Structure 1
Amino acid sequence: MKTLFILSLFKQGYKVKVSTLYHLLKGKRTVSVLMSGFLFDNFFCFQLFPELREEAFYQILQQLIKDGCLDFYEESLEARLTDKGRQRLQKNSLHIDSYTNHLNGYKYGKTEMEMWRILQFLVQVTSHLSYQNNRYIPLEASPKYQLKIKKLLTEIDRKNVGSLMKNEWSLIFDRLSEEESSFLVQQFSGYQWNGKAEQQLLPDFSAFQKAVYRKNIYHHLFSCIEELEENAVLKRAVGESIEKNKNQSMLRTRELWSEGHSPAEIAGIRRMKPSTVNDHFLELAMSERGYAFDQFIPSEQIRCFQEISLPCQEWRYAELRQQFEVDYFSFRMYQIEQIKRERGK
Structure 2
Amino acid sequence: MIFNGIILTCVAKIQGERTVSSIYHLLKGKKSIQTVQDAHIYRLDKFYCIYSILTKEKFNRKIKKLTESGLLNPVENQNSIFQLSNRGVNWLEEHKDQLKIEYFNGLKYNETADIFYLRLLLLVQTLTNIKMRSFNFIPVTDNHAAERWVKQMYRTMKNSEKNVTVALYDELLTILKYLPDQDATLFVDRLTGYKNIGLSTNQLSQKFNLTEEDVHLLLKGIVHRMITLIYKEKEHFPLHVYMLKDLYKSNQITQSANKTNQLLEKGYSIDQIAAMRNLKTNTIHDHIVEIALYNSEFPLNNYISINDQNEVINVLNKEKSFKLKDIKNSVNVNISYFQIRLVLAVNKKLLRIGD
Q: TM-score range by the shorter chain?
A: 0.7 to 0.9
Kept in 1, the 8 Å contact 2:140–2:192? The answer is no
CA 1:56/1:229 → structure 2, altered by over 3 Å: closer, same or farther? Answer: closer
Kept in 2, the 8 Å contact 1:26–1:52? The answer is yes
1:86 alignment partner in structure 2: 89
2:258 alignment partner in structure 1: 252
In 1, distance between residues paired with 2:180 and 2:50?
22
Gaps of 5+ in 2: none
Shift of 1:335: 1.8
In 2, distance between residues paired with 1:254 and 1:293?
15
Is 1:222–2:227 an aligned residue pair?
yes
1:137 alignment partner in structure 2: 137
In 1, distance between residues paired with 2:142 and 2:152?
14
In 2, distance between residues paired with 1:274 and 1:71?
36
In 1, distance between residues paired with 2:122 and 2:180?
23
CA 1:175/1:298 → structure 2, altered by over 3 Å: closer, same or farther? Answer: farther
Kept in 2, the 8 Å contact 1:47–1:110? The answer is no
Is 1:307–2:314 an aligned residue pair?
yes
1:332 alignment partner in structure 2: 341
Q: After the TM superposition, which of the residue ranges 20-29 and 193-202 deviates more from structure 2?
A: 193-202
Secondary structure, aligned partner of 1:70: strand
Give the letter aligned to residue 258 of structure 2.
R
2:73 alignment partner in structure 1: 70
Shift of 1:331: 0.7
In 2, distance between residues paired with 1:3 and 1:268?
46
Q: How many percent of aligned residue pairs carry the same amino acid?
A: 18
Kept in 1, the 8 Å contact 2:121–2:191? The answer is yes
Kept in 2, the 8 Å contact 1:10–1:81? The answer is yes
In 2, distance between residues paired with 1:119 and 1:125?
10
CA 1:284/1:335 → structure 2, altered by over 3 Å: closer, same or farther? Answer: same
Kept in 2, the 8 Å contact 1:45–1:105? The answer is yes
Q: After the TM superposition, which of the residue ranges 136-145 and 273-282 deviates more from structure 2?
A: 136-145
Gaps of 5+ in 1: none
Kept in 2, the 8 Å contact 1:256–1:266? The answer is no
Shift of 1:91: 2.1
Secondary structure, aligned partner of 2:13: coil
CA 1:84/1:285 → structure 2, altered by over 3 Å: closer, same or farther? Answer: farther
Q: After the TM superposition, which of the residue ranges 231-240 and 211-220 deviates more from structure 2?
A: 231-240
1:211 alignment partner in structure 2: 216
Kept in 2, the 8 Å contact 1:21–1:37? The answer is no
Q: CA RMSD in A?
A: 3.9
Secondary structure, aligned partner of 2:75: strand
Kept in 2, the 8 Å contact 1:267–1:273? The answer is yes
1:185 to 180, 188, 198: 188
2:19 alignment partner in structure 1: 17
Give the letter aligned to residue 85 of structure 1.
G
CA 1:104/1:258 → structure 2, altered by over 3 Å: closer, same or farther? Answer: farther
Give the letter aligned to residue 89 of structure 1.
L
In 2, distance between residues paired with 1:292 and 1:143?
38
Kept in 1, the 8 Å contact 2:122–2:140? The answer is yes
Give the letter aligned to residue 335 of structure 1.
L
TM-score normalized with structure 1 length: 0.77
